[in-house]
Structure 1
Amino acid sequence: MTIRPFARTSPTSSGPKGEQPPSAAETTMVTPVGTPAPSVPSVSPPSVRWEHPLERVEEIASPPRRPRLPWLRRRKVLVWAGVVLVVLGALAGFGVWMALGLRDSARDVKTQATAAEDELTAFRTVAGSDPTAASRHLDAAALHLATARRSSRTTQMRIAGVLPWAKIPVSDLGHLLDAADATVSAGHYALDVSGAIKPVPGSSQQPLYADHVFSLPVVQQTAVKAQQISSLMAGAEQDLLEVDGTGPKEQEVPGIRDRALDQVRSLRKQMEQALPLLRLLPGVLGADTPRTYLVTVLNQAEMRPSGGAPLSVATLTLDKGVMTQGAAQSTSDVKFPNGLAQGAGKGFINAPVPWKPAVADPFFSGQRVKGKTYTPFVNANTDPDFRVSGQNLALAWQGGTGQHIDGVIALDMNAVRELLRVTGGVDAAGYGQVNDQNVAQLLLANVYAEADSPQRHLLNAALMGGLVQRLSEGGGLTDKAKALFASAPGRHFQIWMADPSVQQFISGAGLSGAVAAPATTGDRIALFNQNLKGAKVDALQQRTVDEIITMQADGSAKVQRTVTQSNGAIDRSGKMLEYGELSGFARDSLVTVLPTGASDVTTPPAPAKPQQGATQVLGKRQVLAVGGLSYLRQPVQIAPGSTGTWPVTFTIPKAAVAEGDGMTLQVAYDANNDLTPVRTRTVVIPPPGWRVTGGTGVQVASGQGVLDVALDRTQTLSVVLSRG
């Protein structure tokens, strides 16, 4: 057997992995006996190099990771699952806590807020009649609101206030509660003001007015409290405007907000209207200097353009709040020291007195006597605008008596009737009780059964004295003021004041008896009356105004106006006298207003010679320009039991304002202060190819517009016309 020899290797070589190089002994060749020895090549000894032990660094491999056991992995999963369950449980608990807390808070807030609202409703019900009970209701409302406020500030509600889904309702709740708190505070101030105006028997509160004395300190305190109420309501209004009402479960909130806004705004506006007067009141009451006012009842049996002739008069003087009443008299009984003898003036029955208007007044009619202009006091209010006529009455009184007048307060029978309805009647010798049911019949008809009877003068004086007494009594100031103010829109209660600041307030409050300023476009319907020759029959007249307005495509209009007057009087003279107190003839100058720019005006011609006892036009027409207005005036006569008409035609160059394919006609109406309001009917005929489509107070029939309006207040209505 032959054994294959191994090749010698160097000491540095290595065999297969895991084996060591063979030793020298192991590499010695063994030769069988008898076999020649093989040749051995020469081998150079290996080179040797010395190495520093640190020059070779062998990496020590990390031991292999041991596999995890299954039970350890399960343990970690369980730990995390437990953590998740704990968190979920905490969240669930928090959610339940939040939900229950919000539910309880919302329930408590709603309960308390509803109770507070009920208390405020009860407060408004009894505030005018039982201030003590009203105060209790306010206190109860405040307690309910305080409880609701605490419920709205729980931790859950505070947290909800920052959450997107609950932020709006929580904010709205805060604003509503703030507004309610302001309302309660304003209610307390209002009770203080009410208590001053209408003191509670046995109360220690000082009244605003008692025993003909106005308390100036209380007036000033009332002004301060009114300002506080106004400020509170302004804040409440702002809070309510901040209420969004779009959050979850807020379906009722917008309605609550809007109702509260209406009430808050109404009270704020009332205070804003009252504040200027309260600030002016000390001066009106003579805080710095005495003030004297003329009070007069106007006689609608003998009309003037601004109301009836002054029937009876009285003066009121206020000095540091203390009121002194002058004698109440029938106007014909007043002795004017500076006047001419009664009947001395040409054409005048009453005594002429020296005076003239402060500004040019084309309605004024006077005569020169001994270098002075004279006219009777009873003819001083012939201008339709009481801002002029009121001043003229003051000037005429001052001219006749020498007494300076700081203001004029005028009431006619419509206002007197409203006042007596509140205060009760007054007693008059020979007539019994005069009340709201019979005052017009007694003073405007029955007293003229005889000419200038002494009983009439006594009745006039008794009525004037009773009215002044009723006005000056401390009780029922609010009710009396409301009764008079209710008659002001019809110009039945009118005031003029010499102080410009006070007059500005009077005008703003609608108490000045002003005729509206002219408009640049549209129609203007008004009718006033100036009694001629002293017949006392104007309260028995029925007047109507009918108009046909024919519109043109360019916005101009042609107008046919017809004034119809029916005389319900009878002749009491037995001689068919055309003038005088017993005459049944109505002799009047009818006065109407022409719209701005009116042209082509036509009226009936004056007869060359009026017919005796006929219903007819008596004289020529006149156009009087005052303050930008054009008044058309013409005298007429209506026989007893007869009806007459006064036709007027004119053209309005700018009647309607064009608006795209349409145009709008404005029709302005002025209040007439007859005893029975004048009725009007206006028919608007559109141009060809046009039709009336509607408007305020407009009845549409066959493409035409019809307006039925009483001249019981000043107003403007619109008529809309469209093509097609």
Structure 2
Amino acid sequence: MRKNISDKQPEPRLHGEKRKIRRRPFVAVLTGVAALFIIMGSSIAWLAVKASTINKELDAAAQLLPALKNDLTSNKADDATAAVERLRVHTAVAKAAADDPVWTLASSVPGLGPNFSAVAEVARSADDVASIGLTPLVKVFASLDWDSVLPSSNGSDLGPLQAASPSVSAAARTVRLSAERLNQIDESNLMPQVSEPLAQVRKQLAQVTGTLDSAAATAEILPGMLGTDTPRSYLLMIQNNAESRASGGIPGALAILNFDQGKLTLGAQSSASSVGTMSPTLPLDAEQQQIYSGRLGKFMQDVNLTPDFPSAAKIAQEMWEKKTGQRVDGVLSIDPVVLGYILNATGPVAITDPTLNAVVTDVGLPAEMNGSNVVQTLLSDVYTKIDEPAMQDAYFAGVAKEIFGALSNGKGDAKGLVSGLTRGADEGRVLIWSGHNKEQSVLLDYPLSGSISGQAVLPAQFGVYFNDGTGAKMDYYVERTVQLVKECARDGYEETTVRVTSTNTASPDAATALPEYVTGGGVYGVPPGSVQTNIAVYGPVQANVETVKLDGAKVEFAPYLHSNRPVGVFTVQLAPGEIKTVDFTFSKIVQHAEPNVFVTPTVQDVKDVTLPTENATCG
């Protein structure tokens, strides 16, 4: 039988000849997949190494920041310079790890890629802050002789500050751009391991950006404000917290501060009552007149019923000019708490005025002011021990004269003075307004402008402001707490309650134990010993003030609008020992930023007034 071709047997293989093996397709695929897994495994291991490096280096950099801050505040320029150099080494290594090609490739992988990209941006921003931001700032710090920079009777040397202005401004711009890049990262798709640290870095970078911006602004406008080009004069208002006003307290002592080439001299002194009554009343904008009445433009004692310090300062400038004929270049404001901070730096000052010394001897007031006794003396003892209001004002003015006399003579520790004034500014106790438009446009970007609108106000900022309604000095005995409560969102909008709790700590016999000048004697309808306060609460722009509750029960209130911010006003009266809580609820809040609150600075420490935000339980 004949065989078919298909039945042909394979040819015999010659001795030594290797047999050719045909790989089947699925075997090749498996081999490729195995190789891919090996590559991926290597890449994952490599990425893990880089992630560990970035984490370790950035953590090491963060550990250096407290020491750097301490070096700066302690005037240790060499140590601060060394700390920044070490910090730069750590951030440079972290940035190099994040710029690795494999890490960059991983940033483009769908799903996980944004996490790698976010970490890389954090590393780059940290390096920007260290190399471009902190380095020039520390160099400027090291070059300054603080004793010669600050105003004194001998003038000040602002040359180094002026020379440093361009480099500090450039550093501020670069770091601001880094902050903006981080803020543009969409964190909705990030893993918690990345999104949570990112939020912390954003907050820290915002603080650094604020510091650099402040340094740049200071270098830009401070020389001119201290009279480098032409002499300057400022009206100083010392706000008396014992009788609350929205920005702190009733303007007590007034004085003129003169600056010429950085040389500080104390000019005329006066009091708010001495300025008298404006007739006709100065013109006001309609919104503020509606909320705070025409008293804003009538009495110097009431210019700061409004919390908007630029408005109050402009009115005070005009009142002073009408009274004295002098047009000042700006208005500065501090309170007795800040006087205490200044005295901590200058050391004690003695009362040298012979007339005041006689009063001190007769009534037992301190003959020497220091950081520990000045607040109680000026806000309480002076009223309980001196009966005559004119002499009370004279004593207040005399203390201010001695303190600023010590400053003008260059007495005390310069760094301590800067630290004290910085603390006062952070607490809202130091406010500045310039009548020169260019300078004021810079100041408006910062909280020390006291503005209730613009760049200085955070997106979700609330404001709680107190105005005395007793017509006396009883606010010294009031303790307050303010707390934000984040309610459950409604209709897609945020909702927040501002809770204000007030306690009258005066003794039960305050009506008779305290002088009539302190209690008010019932002249304005408030029983002696009781305290009446008009509370004005501001919400974020475009929100609504929905309800007000007094101790849990809804009450009628006065709703207003100021600079497109909703305002709720309610009056509280407290008998001695009485406690009341008022809740102002705001709805339709379009801002999704974390809320914060600014409160009128009082006798209390700010940290004791503002409580941590509370989150409501939402189902």
Query: TM exceeds 0.5?
Result: yes
Alignment partner of 1:219 is 2:158: yes
Distance 1:279 1:397, change over 3 A: same
Map of 1:527 onto structure 2? 464
Map of 1:634 onto structure 2? 570
Question: Larger strand proportion, structure 1 or 2?
Answer: 1
Q: Could you tell me which of 458, 466, 476 is aligned with 1:539?
A: 476
Distance 1:565 1:499, change over 3 A: same
**Largest Rg, 1 or 2:** 1
Alignment partner of 1:578 is 2:513: no
TM-score normalised over the length of structure 1: 0.53
Distance 1:276 1:125, change over 3 A: closer
**How far off is 1:443 after superposition?**
1.4
**How far off is 1:271 after superposition?**
6.6
Map of 2:342 onto structure 1? 419
Map of 1:444 onto structure 2? 379
**How far off is 1:601 after superposition?**
3.2
SS in 1 for 2:404: helix
Q: Could you tell me which of 375, 379, 383 is aligned with 2:302?
A: 379
Q: Could you tell me which of 463, 488, 511 is aligned with 2:448?
A: 511
Map of 1:481 onto structure 2? 418
Alignment partner of 1:328 is 2:269: yes
| Cα offsets for 1:123-146 (capped at 9, x unmatched) | x97997799xx69x99xx9xxxxx
Q: Residues of 1 paired with 2:442 and 2:430: CA distance? A: 15
| Cα offsets for 1:308-359 (capped at 9, x unmatched) | 0111111022345554421334444x3x4xx4xxxxxxxxxxx456552564
Q: Residues of 2 paired with 1:623 and 1:639: CA distance? A: 26
Match for 1:311: what amino acid? G
Q: Could you tell me which of 275, 300, 305 is aligned with 2:241?
A: 300
Unaligned 5+ runs, structure 2: 1-66, 86-126, 175-205, 352-356, 361-365
Q: Residues of 1 paired with 2:142 and 2:372: CA distance? A: 34
**How far off is 1:586 after superposition?**
0.8
**How far off is 1:478 after superposition?**
3.6
CA contact (8 A) 1:412 1:492 kept: yes
Map of 1:601 onto structure 2? 547
Q: Residues of 2 paired with 1:285 and 1:324: CA distance? A: 11
Map of 2:23 onto structure 1? none
- The total of aligned residue pairs comes to 454
**How far off is 1:298 after superposition?**
0.6
CA contact (8 A) 1:517 1:628 kept: no
Cα RMSD (Å)? 5.0
Distance 1:187 1:444, change over 3 A: closer
Q: Could you tell me which of 261, 282, 285 is aligned with 1:356?
A: 282
The 5-angstrom pairing of residues 34-73 of structure 1 reads none
Q: Residues of 2 paired with 1:513 and 1:426: CA distance? A: 30
**How far off is 1:293 after superposition?**
0.3
CA contact (8 A) 1:566 1:641 kept: yes
CA contact (8 A) 2:266 2:401 kept: no
Distance 1:668 1:223, change over 3 A: same
SS in 2 for 1:487: helix
CA contact (8 A) 1:535 1:582 kept: no
Alignment partner of 1:643 is 2:579: yes
Map of 2:33 onto structure 1? none
SS in 2 for 1:405: coil
CA contact (8 A) 1:487 1:493 kept: yes
CA contact (8 A) 2:278 2:319 kept: no
Q: Could you tell me which of 673, 682, 685 is aligned with 2:616?
A: 685
CA contact (8 A) 1:577 1:585 kept: no
Distance 1:557 1:290, change over 3 A: closer
Q: Residues of 1 paired with 2:468 and 2:244: CA distance? A: 5
SS in 1 for 2:298: strand
SS in 2 for 1:508: coil
Alignment partner of 1:622 is 2:558: yes
Map of 1:277 onto structure 2? 218
Q: Residues of 2 paired with 1:553 and 1:184: CA distance? A: 47
Distance 1:469 1:558, change over 3 A: same
Match for 1:488: what amino acid? A
CA contact (8 A) 1:427 1:462 kept: no
CA contact (8 A) 1:329 1:464 kept: no
Distance 1:567 1:501, change over 3 A: same
| Cα offsets for 1:459-515 (capped at 9, x unmatched) | 202221022223323364343122111121221111111112212332334321233
**How far off is 1:590 after superposition?**
1.3
CA contact (8 A) 1:302 1:535 kept: yes
Distance 1:130 1:526, change over 3 A: closer
Is the deviation greater in 462-471 or in 514-523? 514-523
Match for 1:446: what amino acid? D
Distance 1:309 1:353, change over 3 A: farther
CA contact (8 A) 2:73 2:419 kept: no
CA contact (8 A) 2:238 2:254 kept: yes
CA contact (8 A) 2:153 2:265 kept: yes
**How far off is 1:299 after superposition?**
0.3
Map of 1:459 onto structure 2? 395
Map of 2:294 onto structure 1? 366
Distance 1:356 1:682, change over 3 A: same
The 5-angstrom pairing of residues 26-105 of structure 1 reads none
CA contact (8 A) 1:355 1:395 kept: no
| Cα offsets for 1:359-385 (capped at 9, x unmatched) | 442345337xxxxx9612111111112
Q: Could you tell me which of 358, 363, 369 is aligned with 1:434?
A: 369
CA contact (8 A) 2:445 2:455 kept: no
Distance 1:191 1:451, change over 3 A: same
Of structures 1 and 2, the one scoring higher in RCO (CA 8 A, sep 6+) is: 2
SS in 1 for 2:319: helix
**How far off is 1:303 after superposition?**
0.6
CA contact (8 A) 2:501 2:580 kept: yes
Map of 1:592 onto structure 2? 537
SS in 2 for 1:301: coil
| Cα offsets for 1:534-582 (capped at 9, x unmatched) | 2201121122346665425633466665533211122225899334799
SS in 2 for 1:544: strand
Map of 2:601 onto structure 1? 673
Q: Residues of 2 paired with 1:397 and 1:289: CA distance? A: 21
CA contact (8 A) 2:279 2:298 kept: yes
Map of 2:323 onto structure 1? 400
Q: Residues of 1 paired with 2:208 and 2:263: CA distance? A: 31
Q: Residues of 1 paired with 2:73 and 2:520: CA distance? A: 59
Question: Larger helix proportion, structure 1 or 2?
Answer: 2
Distance 1:128 1:228, change over 3 A: farther
TM-score normalised over the length of structure 2: 0.61
| Same amino acid, percent of matched pairs | 22
CA contact (8 A) 1:535 1:579 kept: no
CA contact (8 A) 1:366 1:374 kept: yes
| Cα offsets for 1:40-69 (capped at 9, x unmatched) | xxxxxxxxxxxxxxxxxxxxxxxxxxxxxx
SS in 2 for 1:416: helix
**How far off is 1:306 after superposition?**
1.3
Q: Residues of 1 paired with 2:520 and 2:471: CA distance? A: 15
The 5-angstrom pairing of residues 685-704 of structure 1 reads 685-687=616-618, 690=619
Q: Residues of 1 paired with 2:285 and 2:369: CA distance? A: 39
